[in-house]
Amino acid sequence: MERPKFIVLETQPDFPGEDLSAQNADMLGLHYLRETAGLEGETERLFDHQRALFELAQLALWVRGVKIDDAPKEYHSFTGGFAAYELVQTLVTGAAYNTDLAVMRADLHLINSNTAAFVGIAERNALWPLERPNLYQAITSAGEAREETERQLEARVIGAQLAFELQRPLFDVAA
């Protein structure tokens, strides 16, 4: 009889300064980010609070020529991507996602900013899969397992990207 296998993640103290390891991306994408009750609960909780960020994400994707409908499925994928990043950071670093910091930065630098923040988000979104290929793979594989459409996957990825950026030092957002 085969012994049960444990899902083991490598600790990555330099994350998010470095990309996920390939092993962590595989484990997260195959197990943790697919069907986790806590992740779904966080997605639903965020659903009530992230409308303004989603609208900014829609503008950013529009700049890139990607149209995301203002529909519940796309919005759910967006909040799912945000929640997935929160979980990834917590699991590989052992440090909880700093929600207070994210809310403050979102309000000050994105939502209530007098700048066209969505243009910078669009530029970084185009590069994010190249700069963070393992993280990108883990996030998208979870959406693919849910049989999300291309638009939903785009919403999921930009949700994770924004969650990532809102934890980075302000002058290091593009990294």
For the chain, which residues make up each domain, given as ranges? 22-169
- pLDDT attached to residue 40: 76
- pLDDT attached to residue 148: 93
Q: What's the CA gap between 162 and 78, in Å, rounded?
A: 10
- pLDDT attached to residue 152: 96
pTM across the whole model: 0.88
- pLDDT attached to residue 3: 54
Q: What's the CA gap between 155 and 11, in Å, rounded?
A: 28
Q: What's the CA gap between 72 and 98, in Å, rounded?
A: 26
- 10-residue block means of pLDDT along the chain (175 residues)? 66 90 89 73 80 92 93 93 92 90 85 81 93 95 91 96 86 45
- pLDDT attached to residue 153: 95
- pLDDT attached to residue 71: 92
CA 32 to chain centre: 14
- pLDDT attached to residue 171: 41
- pLDDT attached to residue 27: 87
